[in-house]
Amino acid sequence: MVLVLDTTPDAAVAAPSPAQPSLAGRGDEGLRAALTEIGIPEKQLRMRVEQLWSWLYVRGVTSFDDMTDVSKDIRRRLASAFTLTRPEIVSEQVSADGTRKWLLRLPRLGHEAAAPEIETVYIPESDRGTLCISSQVGCTLTCSFCHTGTQRLVRNLELEEIVGQILVARDRIGDWPGAEPPDDGGMLPIAERKITNIVLMGMGEPLYNFDNVRAAIEVAADGDGLAFSKRRITLSTSGVVPEIPRWGLEAGTMLAISLHAVTDKLRDELVPINRKYPIAELLEACRQYPGLSNARRITFEYVMLKGVNDSLADARALVRLLSGIPSKINLIPFNPWPGSRYECSDWEQIEKFADVVNRAGYASPVRTPRGRDILAACGQLKSESIKLRARDRVAVDGSVEEKPSS
């Protein structure tokens, strides 16, 4: 376990909104506005945006001084009005399995009494690295097995704050050209790029922050910048049915659906948005998802809750329900959190359930839990509201225990 930084809650309350806004994470429009503000003439804007874009998103620079093909005068004007600051790292934890979790503090918006905090998680494997990013501070939905769901929604993340999570992660793991990996022994993939995949599976319901998430995906997928293929970006939704076709048309990433139950009765309880958009409507939206094919399947996530949704009859109903939809099934062992009312299914039961799913033609359906020791696994993310603080975490034998502050 590594804790690189630790600041007190009081700092969050006191942190002023920055006088100079940051350009890090901005899209085309935001960069144009910045350049216009420092007096760059209209006819130069396109070329200047391209220059900035490349320094920000190919090189990952954190100082205007490094932008060597930008004139000194423009660099000076930029630096007098803006910064390249990323969301502030409050703490970084590295799990025994190499998973990293960052608690990030965002700049306070005008009306906010305290600076909101979010979590971002990096999951390395031998040949790939997945970054799990948040789309909201907290969540308005209240899925009964999800830790984030117990935190009230504070607000939607801005475009810059969504892209900022990618920048912070690339900074910390040395995933820019010529950068060094951190010297802390944490595992990294052998691949040239250390972050190969992005999943919108952190805090929040991304389709409830549609415009900012879509704009962030446009920045992330731009071939002249961060250059993540949309086939390696997955948005996970609890089932905001009306937004699913729009997301497919306008953003066109891979899609994951938090299904978790095969009957409306149970899904109403586990994923309450089901009362508004029941299973049949959700699956119909999936069938119509633009670009759906055997090569571009929808992932159905199914959390394994002991004695709740894990019978073999449930498994058979699940494969029946999904027949005809090009899909993958992802069985997620339930990740417990302090105060959760469920237990994870027994491993033997998960295997039997997976067998039924396997026999129906779905390969390797069980998601290995990652980063459980630092509460970084699916559904364990939560920041401010129960006041889990870096200073309250105690390292024990390389793992971390959390206790609420008084």
Segment holding 299, helix H or strand E: strand 298-304
In a 3-state reduction of DSSP, which class is residue 39?
Answer: coil
CB nearer to ligand SAH: pick between 196 and 236? 236
Picked from ligand SF4, ligand SAH, none, the partner binding residue 212 (CB below 5 to 8 A depending on kind) is: none
In a 3-state reduction of DSSP, which class is residue 79?
Answer: helix
| Annotated catalytic residue, options 119, 125, 384, 402 | 119
CB nearer to ligand SF4: pick between 197 and 236? 236
Q: Can you say whether residue 60 is alpha, beta or left, with left for phi > 0 and alpha for psi between -120 and 50 degrees?
A: left
CB nearer to ligand SF4: pick between 148 and 196? 148
Please give the backbone phi and psi of residue 357, each rounded to the nearest 5 degrees, phi first.
Answer: -65, -40
What is the spatial distance between Cα 334 and Cα 350, in angstroms, rounded to a whole number?
11
> Which residues is 329 bridged to in the sheet?
300
250 catalytic, yes or no? no
Strands (DSSP E) found in 136-280:
136-137, 155-156, 197-200, 233-237, 254-258
Of positions 95, 335, 345, 383, contacts ligand SAH by CB under 6 A: 335
Strands (DSSP E) found in 2-132:
88-94, 100-105, 117-124, 129-132
Packing angle, helices 279-287 and 312-322, rounded to 10: 40
* Residues at the interface with ligand SF4 (CB under 6 A): 139, 141-143, 146, 148-149, 204-205, 238, 258, 379
> Can residue 303 be called a binding residue for ligand SAH (CB under 6 A)?
yes
119 catalytic, yes or no? yes
Picked from ligand SAH, ligand SF4, none, the partner binding residue 335 (CB below 5 to 8 A depending on kind) is: ligand SAH
Considering only CA atoms, which of 284, 276, 244 is closest in space to residue 142?
A: 276
CB nearer to ligand SF4: pick between 365 and 379? 379
* Residue numbers 143-182 binding ligand SAH by CB under 6 A: 143, 145-147
Segment holding 247, helix H or strand E: helix 243-250
> Can residue 289 be called a binding residue for ligand SAH (CB under 6 A)?
no
> Can residue 301 be called a binding residue for ligand SAH (CB under 6 A)?
yes
CB nearer to ligand SAH: pick between 22 and 299? 299
> Can residue 253 be called a binding residue for ligand SAH (CB under 6 A)?
no
Where does this chain bind ligand SAH (CB under 6 A)? Answer: 143, 145-147, 201, 205, 236-238, 258, 301, 303, 332, 334-335, 378-380
Active site residues: 119, 378
